[in-house]
Amino acid sequence: MQDSAFRLILHFGRRNFMLGMIIIKRTLFALKALEDFILPRSCRVCGKNLMVFEKHICLECLADFPFTGYWRLAESPADDIFAGRVKLEKVHSLFFYSGAYKKLIYAVKYKSDIGLGKFLGRMLGKSIMEFYSNPDNKIGFPDYIVPVPLHFMKKLKRGYNQSEVIAEGISQVTGIKIEKRLLKRRRYTKTQTRKDRTERWLNVKKAFRLTRYGAEFSARLFGQDMSQTAGAGKKPDSPTVHFLVVDDVLTTGATLEVCCSILRDNFDCPVSAATVAFVE
């Protein structure tokens, strides 16, 4: 008797909970619509007001999104950039940096649009998942996402590091852990437009280094204690990890080359790279 009474309470409790959730969801949707009416959100590409169900980019601009489709290729122009410079397992790049779509990067980098950064990161994450779901790929799944660091003064000024924001989006979709403590940006690199290519390259090379934490991490990896190094998709006793270095845009590849080289030199392990935009 007591048991059936308890079940009845549980049943109504569950029903009320579901009803409550529906009411909350509907109220939030209505509030969002009201907010859009008072403070219209606009598409980050074309500037048109967004509908309640649209996020950051309108459906029309999403339909014309200049995807690279590189995640469907074993070797793409993004991979070719690093040929003969640093050995990378795979270079992921989501869209061509072109036309009005350039505004997306500007908004993430200079307009504090963190929501958009995570949104683009999630899109990139989905393309990475698609790449690894292809059974033809023999490359192991990455264990850690390493965002390209900003100099702390620059991060302080901007309030965030756009590469970390993108990394969070990738992590939300792929489940790969983020490790931000391995690399450090040494100096504040001012605008490099007046410098020649070699000077620019040397400047970038000097700008990054492995942190003390990174050195300890590497020592642990090569030492006895392997318990700390197990990541997604790897056996706990696996002697290597696979790093995925993340940046916003892939242009000459100098920054990624330096960061990836530091990881390869110190960890002797597979390294991949990912950016949201690709400059043709």
Q: Is 43 or 166 the residue whose CB approaches Zn ion more closely?
A: 43
**In this chain, which of 12, 23, 36, 43 binds Zn ion, going by CB under 5 A?**
43
Angstrom distance (rounded) from CA 179 to CA 144: 6
User: Over 207-219, what HEC string results?
Assistant: HEEECHHHHHHHH
Instruction: Assess 104 for contact with Zn ion (CB under 5 A).
Output: no
Binding residues among 62-101 for Zn ion as defined by CB under 5 A = none
Q: Is 45 or 108 the residue whose CB approaches Zn ion more closely?
A: 45
Quote the least distance from Cβ 248 to Zn ion, whole Å: 20
- Judged by phi (left if over 0) then psi (alpha if -120 to 50, else beta), residue 47 lies in left
Quote the least distance from Cβ 155 to Zn ion, whole Å: 30
Q: Is 85 or 102 the residue whose CB approaches Zn ion more closely?
A: 102
Q: Is 18 or 46 the residue whose CB approaches Zn ion more closely?
A: 46
Q: Is 43 or 245 the residue whose CB approaches Zn ion more closely?
A: 43
Quote the least distance from Cβ 59 to Zn ion, whole Å: 8
Angstrom distance (rounded) from CA 92 to CA 125: 10
* Sole residue written with tokens 């409550």: 20
Q: Is 50 or 279 the residue whose CB approaches Zn ion more closely?
A: 50
Quote the least distance from Cβ 117 to Zn ion, whole Å: 18
**8 Å CB contact between 207 and 186:** yes
Quote the least distance from Cβ 42 to Zn ion, whole Å: 8
Quote the least distance from Cβ 116 to Zn ion, whole Å: 13
The region of 36-44, 87-95, 180-188, 212-220 touching Zn ion under the rule CB under 5 A is 36-44
Instruction: Assess 45 for contact with Zn ion (CB under 5 A).
Output: yes
Interface characters, 50-69, with Zn ion (x: CB under 5 A): --------x--x--------
Q: Is 58 or 274 the residue whose CB approaches Zn ion more closely?
A: 58
**In this chain, which of 19, 46, 83, 202 binds Zn ion, going by CB under 5 A?**
46
> For binding to Zn ion (CB under 5 A), which residues are involved?
43, 45-46, 58, 61
